[in-house]
Amino acid sequence: MTELVVRDLVKDFRVRDGVRRSRLRAVDDVSFVLTPGRTTALVGESGSGKSTIARMVARLDTPTSGRIVLSADDGAEVPGRTYRDHVQMVFQDPFASLNPFHTVEHHLARPLLLHGRAKGREDTWRQVLRLLERVNLTPADEIARRRPHELSGGQRQRVAIARALAPGAKVVIADEPVSMLDVSIRLGVLNLLARLQREDDLAVLYITHDLATARHFADDIAVLYRGRIVERGPASEVILRPKHPYTQLLAAAAPDPDKRGTVVAEQPDPVGGGLGHGVHSGCTFRDRCRWAMDICATTPVEEKVGAGHFARCWFYGAEE
């Protein structure tokens, strides 16, 4: 696989607004590229459209418009069935994503068999144990026989990660993978994801509301605000030289990742990022922006603000 390209992605939901029916644009013109061996963080507050994007990239939901294309090494588009083998999702809630009636072995054996990665009982068992060892769940043979309620939250999320690897994932979409876990074990799970990413040369989309972990674990950062990517670029650039007024607010509110213990700390959202109703015209941040100008009533286009660094803000556009 060479890359997964997301282009001009739009998702509208029909919502009931009292007695009126209206349309909510949850994802608005989103584009990004995932490449092997790189982690891209999608950072945004609750309601900004992160899970909607994740579900569309994992093909659990269909876009209103836009394209999502996974290309193979030879440049050809990977067809639907193979796409599902290659693009796997890790959900926020590890309890909800595992079936309480099935053992850990069942959860891992099923995708191995379904996607033709294992043959026969012995081979399947061997591969289940191997997967459990890779996510540091040992003794693997004992863990394999347990059911989800006999595991801690962190262990369950490790099983969910192993399950994502089972079909031979090349792209992993991790939707707030540690936000429901105990603060003390978050770093361990994120480090695990980082190691697997290196070992398997995975392309990872790490979805989070936490800019500090994004800086620590991601190569690239895309900042989402009300369904739109307002800034994107190399992680250090976006954090150290944020250009969009919204990113500047986020960066100022984020704890210093170099101080031990603050890396995965909970942080309050500095400003609300929820969606209003309808389809936005103009900059979605303009009602909160101290620099807002008349032109901000028109939707800004993406402007280059550094090497591989882009912002959607009129402040950097128009005249030189």
Distance CA 8, CA 294 (A): 26
State yes or no: residue 24 binds ligand ADP (CB under 6 A).
yes
By a kind-dependent CB cut-off of 5 to 8 A, residue 111 interacts, out of ligand ADP, Mg ion, none, with: none
Q: Which of 184, 161, 180, 159 is nearest to 100 (CA)?
A: 159
| Structure tokens that stand for 185 in this block | 């074990």
Contact region with ligand ADP (CB under 6 A), list: 41-49, 126-134, 164-172, 301-309? 41-49
Question: Among 40-48, 142-150, 246-254, 264-272, which window interacts with ligand ADP (CB under 6 A)?
Answer: 40-48
CB closer to ligand ADP out of 85 and 175: 175
Q: Where are the alpha helices (DSSP H) in the chain?
A: 50-57, 80-86, 104-114, 120-134, 140-144, 153-165, 183-200, 211-217, 235-240, 245-253
- Provide DSSP, 143-166: HHT--GGGS-HHHHHHHHHHHHHT
Positive or negative CA dihedral for 131, 38, 214, 88?
negative
Binding pattern for the stretch 192-211 against ligand ADP, x by CB under 6 A and - elsewhere: --------------------
Binding of ligand ADP by 284 (CB under 6 A)? no
Among the listed ranges 26-34, 47-55, 146-154, 277-285, the one in contact with Mg ion (CB under 5 A) is 47-55
Sole binder of Mg ion in the list 39, 40, 48, 51 (CB under 5 A): 51
d(CA 222, CA 40): 7
CB 223 within 8 A of CB 229: yes
243: tokens are 């250009």
Coil, helix or strand at residue 185 = helix
Cα 292 to Cα 245: distance, rounded to the nearest angstrom:
10
Q: Alpha-carbon distance 126 to 204, whole Å?
A: 26
Site string for ligand ADP, 118-157 (x = CB under 6 A): ----------------------------------------
Taking CB under 6 A as the binding criterion, the range among 49-57, 97-105, 165-173, 182-190 that sits at the site for ligand ADP is 49-57
Q: Give kind and range of the element (H or E) at residue 243.
A: none
Residue 40 contacts Mg ion per CB under 5 A:
no
- Minimum CB separation of residue 218 from ligand ADP in Å reads 17
The option from ligand ADP, Mg ion, none interacting with 46 (CB < 5 to 8 A, set by class) reads ligand ADP
Q: Of the ranges 48-56, 107-115, 189-197, 229-237, which one interacts with ligand ADP (CB under 6 A)?
A: 48-56
Question: Considering CB under 6 A, how many residues would be counted as binding ligand ADP?
Answer: 13
Q: Among Mg ion, ligand ADP, none, what binds residue 242 when CB lies within 5 to 8 Å by partner kind?
A: none
CA angle 26, 32, 36 (to 5 degrees): 130
Name the DSSP letter for residue 173.
Answer: E
Of residues 224 through 283, those in contact with ligand ADP by CB under 6 A are 275
**Would you tell me which residues interact with Mg ion (CB under 5 A)?**
50-51
**Would you tell me which residues interact with ligand ADP (CB under 6 A)?**
13, 15, 24, 26, 44, 46-52, 275
